[in-house]
Structure 1
Amino acid sequence: MLTAAERDLLRRKLCVRFGSPPRLVDGLHLRVWRTGPLAGQPKVPAALHGMVERGLMTITAGSTRMARAHFTEAGLTALRWLAARRRDLDPAQFAHVHQELGLAVAPAEPPGHPGV
């Protein structure tokens, strides 16, 4: 469903930064060209461009300084596929993504301590 470059891009964009996990509903932040012939247009990485072409994501420009890439329904299905593969989206590191997708995993109990 997703290429290695696309999986890597999603891991980088969805990881927790500065203590705040990104929300899927907010989309993925994209940089914008400041000068030149493409000024004001989003800088779209090659991996994201492929996802847009396949209908997994759409790009919206909020202003000349900000753009975001949002998941389509097909994109959310691909993200669920990625989250189901533990080695691609670790449930501990990407718990916020699993929770938003409705795939929240129950926390593991310490050995010898049955649930109350």
Structure 2
Amino acid sequence: MKIGQSSTMSLANPPPPDDFNAAERAYIRRELDEVFTTLPAVSDGFLVRTRKTGPNSGEPKIPPAGQTLLERGLMRLERHPAPRLFFTEAGFVALKRMMSDAQHADPKKFNHIRKELGIE
């Protein structure tokens, strides 16, 4: 910043909020990363395991980061045929911002996602 320059930001154009916290970003990167030479697609959703035993047998076993995404309305749970988490409209907007930022998602590693989202 130059001497004499104001340090206040313009309220007309505030910076976008951090859509995902660090745990959520790590979860998203893990789910969208290449698995055994297979490139996952955002449109396929994130597979959620089900509980095998106990009083909640058959219920989805949602990871903590997935749970916070659900609670904040950035993802939704669909149970059939197998439970999966899908991004909501707000989640897609946040994901697009995340994938556009090289600090949060390596452009080379996630090139397949960037193409799917129309970033490149």
Answer whether TM exceeds 0.5 for this pair: yes
Give deviations 1:66-85, integer Å, cap 9, x for gaps. Answer: 31000010000110111111
Give deviations 1:59-113, integer Å, cap 9, x for gaps. Answer: 11124xx310000100001101111110211111011110010002xxxxxxxxx
Does residue 93 (structure 1) correspond to residue 106 (structure 2)? The answer is no
Aligned length, in residue pairs? 102
* Moved >4 Å (runs of 4+): none
Q: What is the rounded CA distance, in whole Å, between the counterparts of 2:53 and 2:47 in structure 1? A: 19
Counterpart residue type for residue 35 of structure 1: T
Find the counterpart in structure 1 of residue 94 from structure 2. Answer: 78
Identical-residue share of aligned pairs (%): 39
Question: Which structure would you say has the larger RCO, counting Cα contacts within 8 Å and 6 or more residues apart?
Answer: 1
Find the counterpart in structure 2 of residue 39 from structure 1. Answer: 57
Find the counterpart in structure 2 of residue 12 from structure 1. Answer: 30
Aligned-residue offset at 1:9 = 0.3
Q: What is the rounded CA distance, in whole Å, between the counterparts of 2:55 and 2:39 in structure 1? A: 34
Q: What is the rounded CA distance, in whole Å, between the counterparts of 2:119 and 2:56 in structure 1? A: 39
Q: What is the rounded CA distance, in whole Å, between the counterparts of 1:83 and 1:33 in structure 2? A: 32
TM-score of the pair, normalised by structure 1: 0.84
Instruction: Structure 2 unaligned segments of length 5 or more: list them.
Output: 1-18
Aligned-residue offset at 1:37 = 1.0
Bigger radius of gyration, 1 or 2? 2
TM-score of the pair, normalised by structure 2: 0.81
Instruction: Structure 1 unaligned segments of length 5 or more: list them.
Output: 105-116
Counterpart residue type for residue 44 of structure 1: I
